[in-house]
Amino acid sequence: MDKKINQCHVSEKTNTEYIKQIGNNYDEKTAEIIGLAQNDLLPRFNGKLNLLEIGVGGGESLKKIARNTADSNSRIFGMDLFPEVLKLIDKEDLNIELISANMSHIPIKSETVSGVNASSIFHEVSSYGVECDDGMLYGKDAIKVAFSELNRILMHNGCVAYRDVSAPIGHGEEVERVTYYGESWKEFLRWFIDDFVMNLRVDFYNSEKQSIDKIDNNHDITIEMSRNLHRETQRHYLMFRDYVINNMQEIIGVKVFDSEWVNKDNGEKKFRVSLSPCANEYGDEIKKTLGFGEIVLDSIQFDQLIDQIMADALSELNKNSLDAIEFIDSANRWKNREAAEAYIYGDYLDLLEMSIESTLDSDQDTVLFPKKVDDFIRVQRTYYNRYLKSRIDNPEQDAKQMINFYKISFDEAVLVINEIEINSRFSDQVEKINNIKKLLLSKMVNK
């Protein structure tokens, strides 16, 4: 890996600001692997339950796994690409073993791991790449190497409990013209989109550079580009919005104490916040309307407040105003990290294709594959989807996907894909399902 890129990643991924940003949803991140372990649904190696978490972040999910599964007959491992990240982890009194390694060479013996917990690892691997004999591999090739290595270390019927952002279902390379409304989106796109596209190494589907066509109007901006890029653009706006809310409270004069659902199905929340007149006057007009001090806002009021703050601050940023220097410094740190990384996401079936393809050029006679349709879970993020519908004429759905990949035989995998084929959830995915069946059958013929 290029040393400059590597050191940039290290500095960004180990700073406390970033660790704070990713430190959330521990219950969701660990529930599946803990449930499998506690219900004795994972194989044991010589009587021991060996669990591995890949991508440890601040270590909180790793410690949660250890607290809920560790006993005298278990070993808990945490692995990360960066040793600097591991140094930040306080293991407390827990029996945790930490490993720094690349996904192409996990320093664990073959067929000894009971289960793996992993959040967002495949898209990180696509960006950072994996070290191979012929140099670095990125994108889909890197993800396939990761699948192969996970297949190697897992015991038969061992499981990778995987969680990630959900990609557009269907053909993400299709070009769409989408209009984004509001000054905050317009200013964000002016600041972000060109640099992000310039830094893309590959497109998920065709490995070609993406192009965009922008029409910049008075109060909106229309962009023609692939669905994948629209999805990534919308996701990055939401990420930056959350970053502003969580990491710039003193700069923007808004502190969020908590939020609770009013109607989860409709994505409606209420927020308990305090508004300060002392901070930089981003969104000052709407702040004065709402009143200062501690107040409760509904979703629409909160969205309008944050959008106005972002519109004001990003406008100053785009003009290089010295009046917004604190916001500019913090925003550019975020951009240097997030716009510099080209991620690849796959929906359920994309990931299954890559898992099978990872075995085609090897002597592996097993594949990482779900055992049943219920091993696929897609959870809509309703608050964000409600917001996106109010700002974009044809938004991509914002969701998380959870998949259990078990180490099973190809015969077992064929039975599962036959079950998927007749399930109504996948009725619009006939082409991909047929391709997966062909890949499985070709592997079986060549065994």
Q: pLDDT tens digits for 264-317?
A: 999 999 999 999 887 777 888 888 888 888 999 999 999 999 999 999 999 999
Q: What is the pLDDT of residue 339?
A: 74
Q: Is residue 336 scored above 70 in pLDDT?
A: yes
Q: What is the pLDDT of residue 135?
A: 86
Q: Is residue 208 scored above 50 in pLDDT?
A: no
Structure confidence at residue 12 as a pLDDT band (50, 70, 90): low
Report the range of poorest mean pLDDT among 74-78, 286-290, 398-402. Answer: 286-290
Alpha helices in 129-226 (DSSP H): 139-153, 183-199
Average pLDDT of the residues in 431-441: 93
Give the span between the Cα atoms of 412 and 404, in whole angstroms: 15
Q: What is the pLDDT of residue 134?
A: 80
Average pLDDT of the residues in 91-108: 92
Mean pLDDT of the chain, nearest integer: 87
Q: What is the pLDDT of residue 2?
A: 41
Give the span between the Cα atoms of 113 and 97, in whole angstroms: 14
Q: What percent of the chain has pLDDT over 70?
A: 89
Structure confidence at residue 25 as a pLDDT band (50, 70, 90): low
Q: Residue 111 in contact with residue 151, Cβ under 8 Å?
A: no
* CATH superfamily of domain region 1-167+346-446: Vaccinia Virus protein VP39 (3.40.50.150)
The residue ranges of every structural domain in the chain are 1-167+346-446, 175-339
The most confident of 63-67, 167-171, 285-289, by mean pLDDT: 63-67
Average pLDDT of the residues in 113-135: 89
Q: Residue 156 in contact with residue 111, Cβ under 8 Å?
A: yes
Q: What CA dihedral angle connects 147, 150, 151 and 152, to 10 degrees? A: 130
Q: What is the pLDDT of residue 172?
A: 72
Average pLDDT of the residues in 229-256: 92
More confident residue, 163 or 3: 163
Average pLDDT of the residues in 58-67: 92
Cross-strand pairs, 256: 273
Average pLDDT of the residues in 8-27: 54
- Token representation of residue 373: 């349709």
DSSP string, 37-89: HHTT-S--BTTBEEEEEE--TTSHHHHHHHHHH-STTEEEEEEES-HHHHHT-
Using a 10 angstrom Cβ sphere, with 0-12 exposed, 13-18 middle and 19 or more buried, the burial of residue 305 is buried
Q: Which helix (H) or strand (E) holds 367?
A: strand 366-369
Using a 10 angstrom Cβ sphere, with 0-12 exposed, 13-18 middle and 19 or more buried, the burial of residue 82 is middle
Annotate 112-140 with b (16+ C-beta within 10 A) or e (fewer).
Answer: bbbbbbbbbbbbbbbbbbbbeeeebbbbb
Structure confidence at residue 6 as a pLDDT band (50, 70, 90): very low
DSSP 3-state of 148? helix
